[in-house]
Amino acid sequence: MSSTNPYALRANLLSQAEGILMHRYQVETDRVTNHIHLSLERDKTFDVSTVTYPTFPTTEDIIAEAEKLYSFVQKK
């Protein structure tokens, strides 16, 4: 990575950050969905509207995650 130009490094970090956050989002969404299905199997009166789904990652979230990755890369 040290021979990568700064623009490519930033693009790579943004891509990695997006991947990390999207994976977290998908795992959490799957967990919530499974919870709903299990709850409905146990109790047909389960109120699905009470379930809180995860928030989709924003551009700001992705940039913040990329900055965390960049600070890690900069450590010696």
**Structure confidence at residue 74 (pLDDT):** 86
Q: Does residue 33 belong to any structural domain of this protein?
A: yes
Q: Is the pLDDT of residue 2 over 70?
A: no
Q: Is residue 1 part of a domain?
A: no
Query: What DSSP string runs through the chain?
Result: -TTS-HHHHHHHHHHHHHHHHHHHHHHHHHHHHHHHHHHHHH-TT--GGG--PPPPPPHHHHHHHHHHHHHHHH--
* Chain segment 31-64, per-residue pLDDT in tens: 999 999 999 999 999 999 999 999 999 999 999 9
pLDDT band at 66; cut points 50, 70, 90: very high
Number of domains forming the structure of the chain:
1
| Residue span of the structural domain in which 35 resides | 6-74
